Amino acid sequence: MLPSFRLIKIFDIDIRIHASFFILPAAVSFFYARDYGYIVGVRACTLILLVFACILGHELCHSLQARRFGILVPRITLYPIGGVAGLQRIPREPKQEFAISIVGPLFNFTLALLLFFPFYYWLGRENLFSPSLDSWPKMWANVFWLNPVLGLFNLVPAFPMDGGRILRSLLARKMSYLKATLFCVNLGRIFAILFLLLGVFYKYWTLALVGLFIYLSADSEKRQAYFYDEHDSQN
């Protein structure tokens, strides 16, 4: 199993990078440089790193909100397909789970709003609304547009996406925690299979990998819910 490396410490939270993370910027840089030239490869690598800076901000918001409820968060680990905040536990209280889950997408939407006018005047309207890797201004435009995309994608109602936890927190107010989890797990599997099929059909392997990750995470969440349910019944 590949190790992770500590990059920095923020708010007493270790920011770690999994060894597999470096595969993504290296591969993206290589293929873009090969097909479009060295400068485009550099822009592609820079974009990947900036996107993960936004993902880190997203995960930090989850972590800081969790600490407000007394939940320890010793680390955040960055993987090629995203970041994972290492919460010591997932709260069983619906209000707490909702508050922890919603702040991540809200961070991305808020960042996009804060960036809009500075980017509009700095990059110009034409560059901002034509994101690409053809120039540095258009590369920065990608950073703006990817934030609302990240926010919306994380609202997909499937574990381990924020949307899955938000939906469970809402359902758990009307039904048991276990039933709410099982509903979200089954819904998440539908999205996982859809992502897998679309990824394979269009040869968009990152989407297929995300689908596989969601499917496996759904099973993990299901096992954890049964564990908590059994523990509660024994007490």
Question: Model confidence over 172-223: pLDDT tens digits?
Answer: 888 888 888 888 888 888 888 888 888 888 777 677 877 887 777 776 776 6
Q: How confident is the model at residue 231 (pLDDT cuts 50, 70, 90)?
A: low
- Mean pLDDT (whole number) for 42-54: 90
Query: Which tens digit of pLDDT belongs to each residue from 54-81?
Result: 999 999 999 999 999 888 888 888 887 7
State residue 228's pLDDT score.
57
Q: Does residue 165 lie in a domain region?
A: yes
pLDDT (tens digit per residue) in 8-39: 888 888 888 888 878 878 888 888 888 888 89
Domain membership of residue 135 (yes or no) is no
Classify residue 151: in a domain, yes or no.
Answer: no
Residue 189 maps to a domain:
yes
Q: Please give the Cα distance from 14 to 75 (Å, whole number).
A: 4
Q: Where is average pLDDT lowest: 18-32, 103-117, 122-136?
A: 18-32
Determine which one of 59, 93, 221, 230 is catalytic.
59
User: In 3-state terms, what secondary structure has residue 181?
Assistant: helix
59 is catalytic: yes
* Residue 169 included in any domain: yes
Q: Is the pTM of this model over 0.85?
A: no
| pLDDT at 145 > cutoff 90 | yes
The 8-class DSSP code of residue 1 comes to -
Whether the per-residue pLDDT at 167 is higher than 80: the answer is yes
Helix (H) or strand (E) holding 14: strand 13-18
User: For residues 191 and 140, which has the higher predicted lDDT (pLDDT)?
Assistant: 140
27 domain residue, yes or no:
no
Count of structural domains within the chain: 1
User: Do the beta carbons of residue 64 and residue 11 sit within 8 Å?
Assistant: yes
Q: Which residues pair with 5 in a beta bridge?
A: 17
User: Is 58 inside a domain boundary?
Assistant: no
- State the pLDDT at residue 141: 95
Specify if 37 maps to a domain: no
Q: Tell me which residue range forms the domain holding 174.
A: 156-222
